Structure 1
């Protein structure tokens, strides 16, 4: 029996993961004004922000809007719906079982314990005793005294090793000795791994610059930006926790066979050949001992721990199958927006189009939990696949009311859908990796504004697939803005995910715009727990 390599488990506390599946890029512009108003913007975005939400809005801005510039917009949000961060921190924090005050984790405690158990006082000595016993069995019965002496020497080593292991690994009398470390530590680690399993973590980031010249007759804008989404989780293989939970029980059962062998050795009588036969029988029980795996009782687990008296390769080498994987999608685009108002049967309706060039980069990184390799940023570039594409956004907007104070908007982003395969998907011929979709997304909105206020409501018409492990999204959002003398803007909003649960967010924001210059900040947080999802957006620009 050799020491398990438990460094593998520490990696689970700080890593992310992914599975092969169809994924999509979310509708999440990096706009501070929008974030402050719940994420609305399809009918309410201002000047240079229109290129991200609805190109048609560029032709329906206020009469005194002549130019808009964003330099730049920036946003960052983290979604931890399943509590991955908390579980990872719990996994890597000081164990409640550590009585030394040295800040050791459960992994440290189990690793130290197995160092002792597999050392010269434990399994090494037991193996020596078994080898001496086998040598004693080869001695001729014509020398019973010498044979008995050899048996006694072997028995001494087995007794010492068994008592040591029984104390360190598994207490068969918990009422006297308390539950020993192998049971407690391995169970605690298995529970921690279960808590980490399938917990998704998502990070979104955006950066955008834009310049716009609005006009009802013909509006133009240019923009360049990038949106990055990372999503993942640790995928715990049931075999790994199966080993941890059954390791102690398997060792205890093995020691019971050693106990029977020791008893036979204790009863050995050099004048009674039947006692030698009893030792041989007990020795065969040790040699033939099996625990766990196919064909064994369900209570022993699905993974073989002992096979023919030896630790199985799975248990000895602890080659865990749990994986760390990540999917990252970065979409950078450069686009030109054109829009104007058309009179259709007496109604002024604005239409806009944004043709754009896109660079889609897919990062798909997988690493086993038991890998000794340190994570390096080059790992991402080695597992990166880049694509270039052409796409189009289309939008429409219609103002109505006595003072045109109402506005409805409709947008279709990424009209030309396509699938993009990750490097791992390509190299594995579709057995692993990910397929990321740039899919059409349709959103509608309606808003009302006065010289002091603005209220907006947006609704996703399409349900959008997740990038990896989180729920799909279909947002309904509402937000409002109070504009005080066009110098200070106070914003608030609410967004619900109709395709997921416990993912509603509250938002707030503030804008400061002395003259043509403006600075905007938006924040958002999950309504039930800020740790589930939180984000911030910053924006600096010029409008006049």
Structure 2
């Protein structure tokens, strides 16, 4: 799609509200391979594990994340050029098929070129994610509280070609059996996280438990057109979309067997949600918010933080459209006297359809009060993510 169509798709997502997160929800975690279940602090805990709100220093009285933002994209190489080339080939084929005076040589050449260009579009498309998140944390020894907003939007542009066309006679070739689809789904959470230490009877051990009730808004958009009538230069997006508001909840637990070590478990979106969008062509896009369970462990001695998370469940955003996602994540952070941080990580895909990610990040936090974090993630040759955040800790 041209840049103007891409901008239109993203502006629609922003209006409908938010997007798919990359691996990790905030810039600090994104630089550490997306880890956070056992390594998030009291400010970002609601995004990973609300029990982690019990992780704060004695002099922490207030925390603010304002905001954390990210953008990511994964696209077929030269997608715009491939679509333009097919459109030209399709016009030439139609002209040769409909010529008043048949020309077998011209039709054969047009058909051969048409098949090459159509095959070049197989498994083509792009996906984009956008997100903006906020948090206000009030740590205390009794019951820390965090008011948060998490907003994600995911957009998929998909080309589904009919491979049977490649075996048909030249005068029967038709692009109308191949399709172009643009789907976008968003989920926006506004909630309150609370956490408390609980003494486990008989074993005399303390664990931290966290709970995040939240209002959740889902939005899904679905545009569908056959490849024969799709015009890359003048494609117009419909303004129709489906939306619903519901309730959901997250839960988490953290345990510290020894002071530097944390093991944790997080379960998010415990109430599964679905929202369908049916377009004029009869194509249905089902956007899903599924329960997700992740286990994590972290070691933190003050200057070195090493963390590992593993998804125990697979997540699929669009039913029958996108492939699932499930990762094992590793990350480290080196802290220079609480003034500067260097981060790195690696996310290993556990399912087909998603690639491994390499992550890097840096942070600057003068006096340990105002913090600026940036991160980048790369997967393969055509997938790239960036994240940035501003935080205040008093």
Normalising by the residue count of structure 1, what TM-score does the alignment of the two structures yield? 0.64
For residue 46 of structure 1, report the CA deviation from its aligned partner. 2.0
Gaps of 5+ in 1: 1-9, 17-23, 93-104, 127-161, 171-180, 251-304, 306-314
Contact 2:130/2:152 (8 A) holds in 1: yes
The answer for the alignment partner of 1:202 in structure 2 is 127
DSSP 3-state at the match of 1:47:
coil
Specify which of 396, 413, 416 is matched with residue 271 of structure 2.
416
The answer for the alignment partner of 2:309 in structure 1 is 458
Specify which of 331, 334, 345 is matched with residue 482 of structure 1.
334
Q: Deviations over 1:371-413 (max 9, x none)?
A: 3673334x1x31x100110000001111121xx1101111110
Question: For 1:338-377, what aligned pairs fall within 5 Å after superposition?
Answer: 338-345=194-201, 346-371=204-229, 374-377=234-237
Structure whose residues are more often strand by fraction: 2
For residue 49 of structure 1, report the CA deviation from its aligned partner. 0.8
For residue 79 of structure 1, report the CA deviation from its aligned partner. 2.7
The answer for the alignment partner of 2:155 in structure 1 is 230
Contact 2:358/2:377 (8 A) holds in 1: yes
The answer for the alignment partner of 2:48 in structure 1 is 53
The answer for the alignment partner of 1:512 in structure 2 is 364
Q: Deviations over 1:407-459 (max 9, x none)?
A: 111111001112222233xx78xx63022222110001000001211000000
Query: CA, structure 1 residues 422+28, in 2 after alignment: closer, same or farther (shift >3 Å)?
Result: farther
Alignment size in residue pairs: 375
The answer for the alignment partner of 1:398 in structure 2 is 255
DSSP 3-state at the match of 2:255:
strand
Distance of 1:64 and 1:399 partners within structure 2: 21
Query: CA, structure 1 residues 491+319, in 2 after alignment: closer, same or farther (shift >3 Å)?
Result: closer
The answer for the alignment partner of 1:387 in structure 2 is 244
Distance of 1:418 and 1:113 partners within structure 2: 45
For residue 333 of structure 1, report the CA deviation from its aligned partner. 1.3
The answer for the alignment partner of 1:31 in structure 2 is 26
For residue 319 of structure 1, report the CA deviation from its aligned partner. 6.5
Query: CA, structure 1 residues 200+409, in 2 after alignment: closer, same or farther (shift >3 Å)?
Result: farther
Q: Post-superposition, which runs of at least 4 consecutive aligned residues in structure 1 deviate over 6 A?
A: 24-27
Distance of 2:227 and 2:377 partners within structure 1: 34
Query: CA, structure 1 residues 385+470, in 2 after alignment: closer, same or farther (shift >3 Å)?
Result: closer
Q: Deviations over 1:148-171 (max 9, x none)?
A: xxxxxxxxxxxxxx7xx3xxx41x
Larger RCO (CA under 8 A, 6+ residues apart) = 1
- Of 231-240 and 44-53, deviating more is 231-240
The answer for the alignment partner of 1:256 in structure 2 is none
Distance of 2:309 and 2:40 partners within structure 1: 11
Please say if 1:41 is aligned against 2:36: yes
Gaps of 5+ in 2: 10-18
Normalising by the residue count of structure 2, what TM-score does the alignment of the two structures yield? 0.86
The answer for the alignment partner of 2:12 in structure 1 is none
Question: For 1:498-509, what aligned pairs fall within 5 Å after superposition?
Answer: 498-500=350-352, 503-509=355-361
Question: For 1:172-187, what aligned pairs fall within 5 Å after superposition?
Answer: 181-187=106-112
Q: Deviations over 1:151-203 (max 9, x none)?
A: xxxxxxxxxxx7xx3xxx41xxxxxxxxxx54334323312212312335321
Q: Deviations over 1:122-151 (max 9, x none)?
A: x53x5xxxxxxxxxxxxxxxxxxxxxxxxx
Answer with 1 or 2: which has the greater Rg.
Answer: 1
